[in-house]
Structure 1
Amino acid sequence: MSAVKPTIKSLSRRRFLIGGAVMLGGLLTADITLRQPRDLSMEEYILRLAKIPQGKELRLVQLSDLHLRTSRGYFERVARTVSTMRPDIILLTGDYLEQSRNLAGVLKFLQQLHAPAGIFAVQGNWEYWARLEGENLRRQFSRADVTLLINERRDVRIHGLPLSILGLDYPSPADQVARLVKEASPKRLNVMLSHVPAFNHQLLDKHVDLVLAGHTHGGQVRLPLLPPFYLPRYSGSFVAGFYKAGWAGVPLYVNRGLGTSMLPIRFLCPPEITLFRLVSQKQDR
């Protein structure tokens, strides 16, 4: 018995399905490598705090996890977007570099940022891996008017209100957490910066008003109803958004970051710039 030969119609259908699958695969690849990693999201949160008098507002902008390869295009748009948010102060939570160690590009980007009360930063793991950490990086950042905090506190005044920035160095060791918490005055607003979200939160107390972290990239690739495929060390159970930390229930915010790491892709996890509006607990009439 002779074999049944495929008809022209069946061959055309097969070619159509293969061609369609290839095209969809190409479109998805382009989407997760080109569009979604640059699909910038502007997040805004209002935090009502007892330490802020009625009628006052502080505007804090957080940027995290740049993993900057080039300062052109996307990061120029980031800088312009930050400007439109009218920050009183800009806070950076680590991982500015990538394998290329593009410090010049990082400094070019930072020089485009401006805030009346200054720009403050802490280091992430990539600064250590790139071997551009510590006092060397502090000197370099000072060229862009950015103050790098290495387990230390800096005080500023914004609209007459005293604010302390408590900068933890990677990976936020317990002894430094405890020391900085002791420096958090109950008479001042206290914002703690930590690259990693998972550290000894039980050392925090009610004098710390807000903790800002990054590191996780929000998982970078997310599927609905499923946990992230991968989170780096010192992420713990923290992925993205707000959490309550320690016995004092200190607000902890985990930023999804601006760049990508390991693989240059994002899926259902857009990069973000975050604006925190700190206002009084009393409602303005």
Structure 2
Amino acid sequence: MNRRVFLKNTLGSLLAFIGISGGTYYYSRNIEPSLLKISEETISSPRINTAFNNFKIIQFSDTHIGFHYSLEQLQELANKINLQNPDIIVFTGDLVDEPNHYNWDSRLTTILQSMKANHGKYWIYGNHDHGGYGTDIVHDVMEKSHFHLLQNNHVSVEQGGSTIVIAGVDDVMLGKPDLDATLQHTDPNLFTILLAHEPDFVEKTFSYPIDVQLSGHSHGGQVRFPFIGDLYTPAYAEKYVQGKYILNDEKLSLYVNSGIGTTRLPYRFLCKPELHVYTLKSQMS
């Protein structure tokens, strides 16, 4: 641990202790985790055909149902998603916190089914989906909920005679991500969005004809403080933690969603749960 990291961790721990030992504890435990932030982003590119102008994609991630996030809260989220009238919904992993300990309820499938999108619903595995012997269970629930799995593969989405590509890789930590297989038989000239649970995977994405990567996993740090930022993020979410990054000579945009639920500790501070709404815009003349 270098000096900078040591000082950050020490100061962060001190601030966390002071804050949580006061009124901040109640806020971070009982209030902020329910304050959903809707982040609206415009994605523009000359590779987007005018047929996709105002095409709306909604991303939600890291619900971690069962760890202080209930089915009633998920139903509220579904209602808010449907109010956006999305063309596509993408879920970027970690549905349930501990699949092998979760009391699976048919209401979960019903709620996920209720989410509506004009051009389909897609999802990828997160590390918690593969963990705890949950791979097959989560797959079954998502399939019954009409979410299409992207596990080292892609789909072509067509509108007005034009096409964009939505691709997804397997989880980095517990799966076997393979970008070559994912993009096999795709047209490199088409606008391409990649779903990858872990944001730091973007450093492999650089070498491929991908325009946008959508990720989760980091929870934005969950607990953040002014001047020092996040106190902790998991492996493969250490460099790219929250928000938008422009990379690879502006050829690639990475968006890191702060997630819906919590994990490890049931707190959020200066890091509200987040729903992303992306609107595509053409730069074609």
1:263 aligns with 2:265: yes
Name 1:224's counterpart in structure 2.
226
Letter of the structure 2 residue corresponding to residue 143 of structure 1: K
Name 2:42's counterpart in structure 1.
46
Which residue of the other structure, out of 221, 241, 244, is the alignment partner of 1:242? Answer: 244
Distance 2:31 2:86 in 1: 27
Distance 1:243 1:272 in 2: 17
Distance 1:58 1:159 in 2: 12
1:74 aligns with 2:73: yes
Q: 1:201 to 1:81 in 2, by over 3 A?
A: same
Q: Does the aligned pair in 1 maintain the 2:170–2:176 contact within 8 Å?
A: no
Distance 2:229 2:205 in 1: 28
Name 1:190's counterpart in structure 2.
192
Letter of the structure 2 residue corresponding to residue 219 of structure 1: G
Bigger shift: 44-53 or 25-34? 25-34
Name 2:14's counterpart in structure 1.
none
Q: Does the aligned pair in 2 maintain the 1:101–1:130 contact within 8 Å?
A: no
Q: Does the aligned pair in 1 maintain the 2:40–2:276 contact within 8 Å?
A: yes
Give the deviation of 1:187 after TM superposition: 4.0
Distance 1:73 1:28 in 2: 25
Name 1:64's counterpart in structure 2.
61
Q: 1:203 to 1:52 in 2, by over 3 A?
A: closer
Superposition RMSD on alpha carbons, in Å? 2.5
Q: 1:52 to 1:133 in 2, by over 3 A?
A: same
Distance 1:103 1:186 in 2: 41
Name 2:144's counterpart in structure 1.
143
TM-score by length of 2: 0.82
Give the deviation of 1:101 after TM superposition: 2.6
Distance 1:155 1:64 in 2: 22
Larger Rg, first or second structure (1 or 2): 1
Task: Name the SS of the counterpart of 1:198 in structure 2.
Answer: helix
Letter of the structure 2 residue corresponding to residue 28 of structure 1: T
| Mapping for residues 6-25 of structure 1, pairs under 5 Å | none
Distance 2:103 2:71 in 1: 12
| Mapping for residues 132-171 of structure 1, pairs under 5 Å | 132-134=134-136, 136-171=137-172
Q: 1:158 to 1:91 in 2, by over 3 A?
A: farther
Name 2:9's counterpart in structure 1.
none
Unaligned runs of 5+ in 2: 1-19
Letter of the structure 2 residue corresponding to residue 124 of structure 1: G
Q: Deviations over 1:58-101 (max 9, x none)?
A: 10000000001254332222111111111100011001111343
Name 2:85's counterpart in structure 1.
86
Q: 1:223 to 1:203 in 2, by over 3 A?
A: closer
Unaligned runs of 5+ in 1: 1-23
TM-score by length of 1: 0.82
Q: Does the aligned pair in 1 maintain the 2:142–2:148 contact within 8 Å?
A: yes
Name 2:16's counterpart in structure 1.
none
Distance 2:111 2:206 in 1: 33
Distance 1:61 1:203 in 2: 21
Q: 1:130 to 1:39 in 2, by over 3 A?
A: same
Count of residues in Structure 1 that have an aligned counterpart in Structure 2:
259
Give the deviation of 1:106 after TM superposition: 4.0
Q: 1:159 to 1:106 in 2, by over 3 A?
A: farther
Distance 1:152 1:182 in 2: 8
Give the deviation of 1:49 after TM superposition: 1.2
Give the deviation of 1:152 after TM superposition: 1.1
Q: Does the aligned pair in 1 maintain the 2:211–2:251 contact within 8 Å?
A: no
